[in-house]
Amino acid sequence: MSWRGILDPTFRSFVVSYPKTGRTWLRMMLGRYLCEKLGVGLERVNKTRRLLLAAGMPADFTHDDAATNDAIHYRDLNPDKSAFHDRSVLLLGRDVRDTLVSAYFHTTRRMNLFKGSLREFVRDEHHGALKLLTFYRHWYEARAVPRAFLFMRYEEMHRDPAQTLAAALRFLGATSVDPAALSVAVQFSAFDNLRQAEAEDRYPDGTMSPADPADPESYKFRRGKAGGFVDYLEPADVAYIDALNGVHGCEFTR
């Protein structure tokens, strides 16, 4: 049974994301902003649900059946989004090729759930391109189901993190946005700062710790680069992903 059959009524909004599309980065920006506004210590910065609830913006975060550790087949992704009909949904997206490269390292170096090559990963029906494209096609076709819907790209977060954070806050229910707190949150959540925090293991709950401190590909905050797929994917793999996207993709993946 899908977890969506038991949505917690506490949450009016959901941030939905395919794995490795910037959710942790957005959560850290939201957390730092809310710590600043609520006047609480930074030891709570990664307790995003609690901070949003305290700020009167109850929201939850989900991979909507696509979580890496579930590794379900692409055909088993549920296209029915009716459980979200009375909720607001912020959907995160990212370049398909970058997402797959990042997901490969997460799946192999952090979770040890896949033993094959990157070439095999992008073609795998439990982890690869077809699953990612199916996930986004389902959401594209159901984008009118939630009471409010916002699609936010990882690349937009790179280009203008303050503007995208402000848009996310307003969508999640903030009645106003404080420019000074935005600046603090963006500076705190710069990639190099988050990478350093991970290297120093500042968050001992283990959610943001490298699997192997000596392996740069095992970090949660691995590269933070848009277009970095060119350093990993062979031209044949890029051609395969792009062709599949042309047939099975949607506006959210192009």
Domain ranges, ordered by start, for the chain = 3-253
Q: One digit per residue, pLDDT tens: the chain, 254 residues?
A: 344 545 777 899 999 999 999 998 999 999 999 999 999 998 899 899 999 999 999 999 999 999 999 999 999 999 999 999 999 999 999 999 999 999 999 999 888 899 999 999 999 999 999 999 999 999 999 999 999 999 999 999 999 999 999 999 999 999 999 999 999 999 998 877 877 766 666 765 556 666 667 666 656 665 677 888 999 999 999 999 999 999 999 999 99
Q: Find all residues with CB under 8 Å of 13, minimum gap 6, and list them.
A: 57, 58, 59, 60, 87, 88, 89, 90, 171, 172, 173
Question: Do residues 89 and 149 touch, judged by C-beta distance below 8 A?
Answer: yes
Planar angle of CA 111, 24, 97, nearest 5 degrees:
70
Tokens of 239: 């051609």
**Is 21 within 8 Å of 63 (Cβ atoms)?**
no
Going by CATH, does the domain composed of 3-253 fall within 3.40.50.300? yes
